[in-house]
A and B are shown apart, each in its own frame.
Chain A
Amino acid sequence: MKKLTKETLDACRSESQRKRGNWIKVGMSTCGIAAGAGDVFAILQNEAQKRNLDIRIEKCGCAGMCYAEPLVEVYVEGMPQVVYGDVDKETALAIIDKHISGKRLLNDHIYNVKVDRS
């Protein structure tokens, strides 16, 4: 990587912002990992690969809702952005099956739904 300058920082910003499309983020801070986020991340990654899904699986930090860890946030185009909590192995599989493939939200695991108000 070439070192950034005042001039190239903005180019780096626009380039980094450009990545769009479907994604899943798993909260991988100490509390998330303690609650089992590592396993959840691995399952999501495996399943996405196995089924050849067009989705990025990423790590993120703590969203603050420690009581509901592990937390998984999902964005699929054409659906609202959803935060799932208390995600165990079964729920992780259900996220892939129902939400990603079936375009339906899961019952009893949603902790937040983010709506674009624009």
Chain B
Amino acid sequence: MDTQVNGNTKVDIKGLAEKWKGKRGNLIMILHEIQNHYGYVPREVSLQLSEVLDVPLARIYEVITFYNFFKLEPPGKHTISVCMGTACYLKGGAKLLDEIKNMFAVEEGQTTKDGLFHLQVVRCLGCCGLAPVMMIDGKIFGKVKPDELMNILSPYVKGEV
């Protein structure tokens, strides 16, 4: 079998299954590890997982599709998460989202055509004191004003980050 999935080295499913063996309710934790590795849960990996764990594929997909966190498509190179918790909403989170949509001609939940950015809305990043907040790949930016977006995003566009 090939050793790569979508450009990434393959995750060691057997090792994973071994690590979580005997722990009840392990499926979600295994899926987290797979997504951490690939950025999403590739179908072929789910197939393999189904064999190794001896769990029907439908059961795995049932879980993946229930939880927002799990993705079935490869995300963009960078993920922009705009917080839409209440504090951020009141303080202009929706404006940030609109501005980003316009800047890259992308809708929420989609990836830009060049695959650079995946835009998503998140519930609450828990930084309400810094509202409005957005996150790019795990780095949080607080008190963001729409006219600062260009400055924040340009290093990513230029490939400096």
Contacts and interface: CB of A to CB of B under 8 A. Distances in A.
Interface residues of B, number: 10
A79 interface: no
- Decide if the interface of chain A is mainly helix, strand, loop or mixed: helix
Interface stretch (A10-18, A26-34, A46-54): A26-34
Interface residues of A, number: 9
B17 interface: no
B140 A69 contact: no
Contacts of A31: 126-127, 129-130, 142
Interface string A68-90: 01000000000000000000000
Contacts of A65: 129
A65 B141 CA distance: 17
13 contacts: A30-B127, A31-B126, A31-B127, A31-B130, A31-B142, A34-B127, A34-B130, A34-B140, A35-B142, A65-B129, A66-B127, A66-B128, A69-B130
Q: Which 3 A-B pairs have the closest CB atoms?
A: A66-B129, A34-B140, A31-B127
